[in-house]
Amino acid sequence: MPRHTEYILFITKVTPSGVAAVAQCNTHLKKDFKILVIQDKNETGIFPEDKKVSKILTCDFQKPHAIEKILQPYKDTIVAATFYGDENAILAAKVFPHVPYLLHTSAASLEWSTDKIAMRQLFEAADPTITPAFTIVKNTDEKSIARIIKKVGFPLVIKPSGLAASLLVTMCYHEDELKKSLQKTFRKIEKIYKENNRTTVPRVLVEQFMEGEMYSVDAYVTAKGDISFCPMVYVKTGKTIGFDDFFNYMRITPTQLKETTIEKAHVVAKKAIHAVNLRSTTVHIELMRTEDGWKIIELGPRIGGFRNAMYKLSHNIEHRTNDLLLHLGEKPIIPKKQQAYVSVLKLYAKKEGILKKVNGIRKIKKLASIKDIQLNLKSGDACLYSKHGGKAVCDIILAHKHRPQLLADIRRVEQSINIELE
């Protein structure tokens, strides 16, 4: 191994955009970083998507000595380590202690910020006003139900701890619904944890439902805790378009929020980041704008879904490159000039069933705003709601210089796409 080779370590996987980000870093910093990927041998089916530029190391992440052994030859040459996706945070927490001289967040912070319960507890400790009332449940007995009603009240949201997205997230308005939903959740949670290769112990968070509008923001946290924010993103959930499900139906950036409102959101987001002691990481924060001010829904020590594409199109922000710069101790570059309005739509079938056909894809490809259409399911696949572990039938990225034209194209997409079930 030549001494001059410097590596950027990706935990579990590197996406094509990650590969591109390394190339951009190389150009920007006049370097020649290579990509190194470390994988858990138990994580089957996840491989680097661009093998040509990756060096892949595989070991058992359950054994610290196995990680140490496989990293040993590279330790002096790894200059940064990062990961993509919520599900890889726990794996990163196992790897980071073996590369102690790099800029990354602590393993404990990674665990806290991927555990909905620990997160809530830390938020509450930092500032109770930024988080809703909550309690933790391990079973469905009468005592637990009584505690939920007393401590949280209705309406409430059931959130299995440690699950990403809106998997098994359920809203309950009364006791009967709570009992049924909790039983269902505990029955399914084990199965989903297994399918998602979860190694953590299932626990369920029950929290007060917050009424308001949902937003999110990605931020870069330096080693010293300084925070730079990317533009805010408005999020419309499935609930607001008639689904009994919390999936993120539409994201749109920039928002219509005033500067003063954004500043207030930043104050609350900062409190949340500092509450879980995150540093040297990109953070994705979901917020609720309520009548009583901004509240934290949750955060993750990662780049938010679709944010790489959204920020690139809206402000020419190289989000993944910034994530690497942050880990390299460099300042992220956040251009302020807006290039376009960007939206991501996740389309689900109105009912659950077997997918027959998706009509209208060809038609919407002609729309001026369309940037990307990703079909996630094919004919014969099961269409399930997000709360039941289902994926969107398709994801659509749209961008336009003018907001009204973007909204018009969103409307055309909504009117053109017809998801047929058998």
Partner 1 sequence: MKKTSDNFLVPLTLVGKLYDHMIKVVKPTEVTKEKNILLYVGKLFPHMYYALKEFEKTEDRKFRLALIYDSKTKLDEFTEKIVDKLDIVIPCDFSSDAALHEALIPLQDEILVLTTRSEDQISALARVVPYVPFVHTPTETSLLWATDKIAMRKHLRNYDKSITPAFMVVKDTEKKSIKTIIDTLTFPVIVKPAGLAASRLVGICYHKEELSDFLKKVFREIEAVYKADGGNGIPKVLVEEFMEGQQYSIDAYVSDVGRMYFCPMVSVKTGKAIGFDDFFGYLQMTPTLLNEESIAQAEHVAEQSIRAMALRSTTVHVELLKTEQGWKVIELGPRIGGFRHMLYEFAFDFNHTANDILIRLPKKPQIKKKEQGYAAAMKFFAKEEGKLVKLAGIKKIQELKSLKKLYINKKVGDTCKFAKHGGSSVFNIILVNKNRSELLADIRRLEQTVDIQVE
Residue of 2, 101, 142, 256 interacting with partner 1 (CB under 8 A): 256
Ranges within 270-329 binding partner 1 (CB under 8 A): 290-292
- Binding footprint of partner 1, residue count (CB under 8 A): 27
- DSSP string computed for 283-297: EEEEEEEETTEEEEE
Mask of contacts with partner 1, 209-238, x by CB under 8 A?
--x-x-------------------------
Q: Dig out the tokens for 45 from the structure.
A: 């089916």
> Is residue 411 within the footprint of partner 1 (CB under 8 A)?
yes
DSSP state of 360: S
Residue of 158, 233, 410, 419 interacting with partner 1 (CB under 8 A): 410
> Is residue 173 within the footprint of partner 1 (CB under 8 A)?
yes
Note whether 175 and 394 are within 8 A (CB): no
Nearer to partner 1, 195 or 291 (CB): 291
The span of 63-71, 179-187, 252-260, 391-399 binding partner 1 (CB under 8 A) equals: 252-260
Q: Dig out the tokens for 265 from the structure.
A: 């959101």
Note whether 266 and 285 are within 8 A (CB): no
Helix (H, G, I), strand (E, B) or coil at 125: helix
Note whether 37 and 12 are within 8 A (CB): yes
Residue 155: is the preceding peptide bond cis (ω within 30°)? yes
> Is residue 257 within the footprint of partner 1 (CB under 8 A)?
yes
> Is residue 154 within the footprint of partner 1 (CB under 8 A)?
yes
Length of the chain: 422
Measure CA 201 to chain center: 20
> Is residue 401 within the footprint of partner 1 (CB under 8 A)?
no
Residue of 1, 125, 241, 267 interacting with partner 1 (CB under 8 A): 241
> Is residue 142 within the footprint of partner 1 (CB under 8 A)?
no
Helix (H, G, I), strand (E, B) or coil at 89: helix
The span of 74-82, 306-314, 324-332, 405-413 binding partner 1 (CB under 8 A) equals: 405-413
Q: Minimal distance in Å, beta carbon 354 to partner 1?
A: 22
Query: Which among 335, 322, 416, 420 is positioned nearest to 377, based on CA atoms?
Result: 420
Q: Minimal distance in Å, beta carbon 389 to partner 1?
A: 22
Alpha carbon distance 334, 307 (integer Å): 13
Class of residue 52 by CB neighbours under 10 A (exposed 0-12, middle 13-18, buried 19+): exposed
Nearer to partner 1, 222 or 261 (CB): 261
Nearer to partner 1, 384 or 408 (CB): 408
Binding interface with partner 1 (CB under 8 A): 153-155, 173-174, 177, 211, 213, 240-243, 256-258, 261, 290-292, 404-405, 407-412
